[in-house]
Amino acid sequence: MIKKMALSLMIILCLVVSGCSMNNSTADDNKEDIVRIGYQKNGPLIILKTLGTLEERLEEIGYKVEWNEFQAGPALVEALNAGSIDFGRTGNSPPIFAQAADAPFVTVAAGKSKFEGSGILVAEDSSFTSIKDLKNKKVSFAKGSSSHYLIVKALESEGLNYTDITPVFLSPGDARIAFEQGQTDAMVVWDPFVSSTEINMNATLLVNGEGFTTDRDFFLANKEFAKDHQEVISVMLEEIESSSDWANNNHDELVEMLEPILNIDEASIKMAIERRLYGVDPLSEEIIKEQQEIADTFFRLEIIPKEIDVRDVMIKQ
């Protein structure tokens, strides 16, 4: 009798386990994959996120979108390295540092040049009139950012070295506070921080990025994700281009969209968007050359630990 009961229990247990396995298999088959995207509030991906068109496109091929906000490019690239996100956008310098650190990522596309909205600011009452005046002065910028490269090239254009200034590594928000309080002599940053400082502090834009840097956006993907999800990346780039076209042709609506997100006044946002062009460019030889020059400059100055070939992480469409 006991043997019969034990046998019955074993049969029931097997059926339960089998049923659970079948149910799990069915659930996995029906489960939508998730694309984890890293964005910054002041970049083109915030426009795409707010418009909501990417979710619709990716849902058609069985994917959902998870958005992850980052304050700066270096942190976003580190998340790609750690596998915490699959795709993201950053400026031109963070990918250089990431590649020098052997991070597993690839660059899939570039943005349009936005040099007019990047620059070196000095206070309204400053006596500085040229880059030469920055010698032996405190200059703030985000380490490893596009501004880092801009200040290096601006100094070299006037025969100065990077060592001729005292770098103060600060995020844009902290740099603004230090600048307002007179703790630094100049600030190197990008829009809308430039436009806001110009308008609200009446600061002087000593130079913008013209002749020094194109200051492009770059769209990056985790290496394994890019290898296995080419269709998803194609859809994302198409939607970034589409949302960029909308942004370029609807400035008033774009200002209205960004004001509550950025918590910056309308005038500053309007100035920022009117001196840039949103869009996506394939990775041309010209763009690769631009990035290689940044990498070579940082290696020469011992800002990155080794020499790199940027082509190794770029996927030409």
Question: Domain 115-208 falls in which CATH fold?
Answer: D-Maltodextrin-Binding Protein; domain 2 (3.40.190)
Q: Which of 119, 93, 46 is nearest to 271 (CA)?
A: 119
Element holding 77 (H helix, E strand): helix 73-82
In the chain, ranges of CATH 3.40.190.10 domains: 33-113+216-313, 115-208
Rounded average pLDDT over 88-93: 92
**Both structure tokens of 232:** 């998803």
pLDDT for 15 beyond 60:
no
Higher-confidence position of 305 and 73: 305
- CA–CA dist 298, 160 (Å, integer): 16
Cβ(217)–Cβ(91) below 8 Å: yes
Higher-confidence position of 5 and 236: 236
pLDDT for 215 beyond 60:
yes
| SS3 state of residue 2 | helix
| SS3 state of residue 218 | strand
Rounded average pLDDT over 154-160: 96
Helices of type H across 138-250: 146-157, 172-180, 193-201, 223-228, 230-249
Per CATH, the number for 33-113+216-313 is 3.40.190.10
Q: Which of 143, 101, 145, 115 is nearest to 313 (CA)?
A: 101
Tokens 């915030």 belong to 46
Rounded average pLDDT over 106-135: 96
* Weakest-pLDDT range from 5-9, 53-57, 103-107, 279-283: 5-9
Tokens 């990417």 belong to 54
pTM given for the model: 0.84
Q: What is the chain's percent helix, strand, coil content, to nearest 5? A: 55, 20, 30
pLDDT in tens, 283-302: 999 999 999 999 999 999 89
What is the phi/psi pair of residue 287, to 5°? -70, -40
Summary mean pLDDT of the chain: 89
pLDDT for 198 beyond 80:
yes
Higher-confidence position of 136 and 70: 136
